[in-house]
Amino acid sequence: MRFVFLLPDFNTSQSWHLVQNLISQSRLQFLKDWARLRMMRTTVTFGGTLNVMRHCWIARNCGADAVIATMSGRDTYGERGIYNLPYIRWADRRADDICIVPDYVTELINEVKSPAIAYLQVPIHTHNNFNYQDSRVALWTDSPMMQEKCRATYPNKEAEIVPNIVDSNAFPFIPQEQREAGLLFAFPRKNPEFISETQKYYQERGGTYWRFELIDGLSFDQLTKQFRRPQVFLASAAIEGCALPPQESMAAGIVVVGRTAQGANFCMQHGETAMTAESPNDAAQCLRDLEDAALRDKIAQNAHKYISSYFPSEEPARFWQKTIRHYASMV
């Protein structure tokens, strides 16, 4: 029994950039679909990708045979990936493998003859394009919001909520007073307008404590080192899948401010584990409130306690022990 986690190859080469541009400009939908399903490449290491890698790592730690599958069969992530996991070619999967397929290529489940799991992390990629009613197919998702989305998309089949995995070793708790005073991090690739407008409204309200620093394009190791610095993380995404950056911030002792991403950031409880704000104007007011060190300390402590259930040795390990037993009983 082996668990096979399908992921795209990572490729930022100029040649792939040119090919990608040609494909995107094509009017032939079948060509776009072929490239998405048969080439499966990405230029960004998304949080959901790292979450899949962590699930593979924990499955292995729980005694399972588990590998990552890509079209190339090689580890193309390097330092952008995690844990030195074994890789195979997707074409080399075995007839009895349990295949975990990401949401944006769930059509591939129809080609899998063995047990398969559709891992549905992102609402915009949740589509009824595979035979989900097949008894060999299971559905996984990662939040109450996504579970409701799955109920609407896949009627008569329940999607199991799978715990996100927050790496407590990579994001150790550092108290607010040991962080850089007034430093705020934000990811510009996630709704930059929300970030810039929040900054504008904050300054218009007379705020001077918080200074905004935009970070992007970092490897996982670089990101974990940078997360030792700020006191606040601004969650700016309108829609999130597994919403790992806010949860990793909570683990690290960074106070999260911002959008609940249509429910995906279900760990954000206003005034307790985060400061929620669905508009830049509200976010600016939250930042003024967070100039209070006592409020920051309270939220940072509460958030760390809440998110600790997603540390590898807690819910994720129990989930994989149960999952391994379930599939072993089917052999």
Amino acid at 149: K
Looking up tokens 């009983």 gives: 329
User: What whole-number distance in Å separates Cα of residue 124 and Cα of residue 67?
Assistant: 27
Instruction: Give CA angle at 227 (221, 228), nearest 5°.
Output: 105
Which neighbouring-strand residues pair with 258? 235, 276
In a domain, 115, yes or no: yes
Q: Are residues 150 and 202 in the same domain?
A: no
pLDDT tens by residue, 139-156: 999 989 899 999 999 999
- Cα separations in angstroms, 209 against 121, 182, 287: 36, 5, 9
Q: What is the pTM of this model?
A: 0.88
Amino acid at 117: I
Whether 180 has a pLDDT exceeding 90, the answer reads yes
Residue 279: which CATH number?
3.40.50.2000
Question: What pLDDT is attached to residue 314?
Answer: 96
Question: What pLDDT is attached to residue 183?
Answer: 98
Q: Are residues 74 and 6 in the same domain?
A: yes
What backbone phi and psi angles, to 5 degrees, belong to 291?
A: -70, -15
Q: Are residues 127 and 88 in the same domain?
A: yes
Q: Are residues 181 and 159 in the same domain?
A: no
Question: What pLDDT is attached to residue 102?
Answer: 96
Q: Which domain holds residue 265?
A: 176-309
Q: Are residues 14 and 94 in the same domain?
A: yes
Question: What pLDDT is attached to residue 256?
Answer: 98
Domain count, the chain: 2
* Residue whose C-alpha is closest to residue 278's, from 245, 236, 226, 307: 236
Residue 40: which CATH number?
3.40.50
The pair of structure tokens assigned to 318 is 């129990």
Q: What percent of the chain has pLDDT over 90?
A: 77
Q: Are residues 25 and 126 in the same domain?
A: yes
The pair of structure tokens assigned to 180 is 């850089």
Give residues with Cβ within 8 angstroms of 325, minimum separation 6: none
pLDDT tens by residue, 280-327: 999 999 999 999 999 999 999 999 999 999 999 999 999 999 999 999
- The crossing angle, in degrees rounded to 10, of helices 244-252 and 47-61 is 60
Q: Are residues 161 and 25 in the same domain?
A: yes
